[in-house]
Structures are given as C-alpha cells and as structure tokens.
Amino acid sequence: MKLIIAIVQDKDSHLLSDEFANANVRATRLSTTGGFLRAGNTTFLVGIEEERVEEVLTIIRENCESREQLTTPPVHLDTTLEAGMSMPVPIRVGGATVFVVPVEAFHRF
C-alpha cells in the first residue's frame, strides 16, 4: 500500500473530491496553508493499493489546473524598489504537488 499526499489549489479541490468518490478512491481532505504564499490550499491523503497508484495520479493530473497568480514579494527581498513600494509579480502555482510514500502498516478498526 502507498500513501499519496497531494497538495492542490482550493479551486480544484471540490472537483477532485467528486472524481475520487466516482472512482471509489478513499481520501481525506485537510485545509492547509502554503508556506510561500501563505494562502489556503487543500491537501488530500489517499491510502491506496500499489496497483492503483497510477490511476489516482491520472485523476489528480486531469482535475488540477496550473494557474498564474500575482503576489507581492516581501519588501526586504525587492532591492530594486524603495522601501514600502513592492510591485506584484506573477508566479505559476502548480496543478498539484504530489508525494507517494510507502505505508508500513494499514489498519481500519
């Protein structure tokens, strides 16, 4: 068994939940916060048999969209501008950041 940890944008999380349910994939949603943007995102925990990992990755790939977002860098990082005048810069936030990790044991009591 594997544990898939997928961090996705909030905008994609409802559709992804629906698609997991349609495919009979059990998942837990956590409300999380990105360390860089400090904005909300959603983390899914999916415990799944090894032979279904590719299926789950395909569902994630097909339902999570990469988007450009404007962010204002912290003033101390923007050396080109006077203090207090940081300009928004575009960054591309991924469709999903996914970790696949081995599971030593799985119990459902």
The closest of 40, 54, 39 to 4, measured between CA atoms, is 54
Nearest distance from C-beta of residue 24 to ligand 2BA, angstroms? 26
Report yes or no: 95 and 66 within 8 Å, Cβ to Cβ: yes
| Rounded distance between C-alpha atoms, residue 109 and residue 41, angstroms | 30
Nearer to ligand 2BA, 52 or 78 (CB): 78
Cβ distance to ligand 2BA smaller for residue 21 or 37: 37
Considering the complex, state which of residue 31 and residue 49 has its C-beta at the smaller distance from ligand 2BA: 31
Min separation Cβ 91 and ligand 2BA, Å: 5
Q: Are 105 and 47 in contact (CB under 8 A)?
A: no
State the nearest-atom distance from the C-beta of 97 to ligand 2BA, in Å: 4
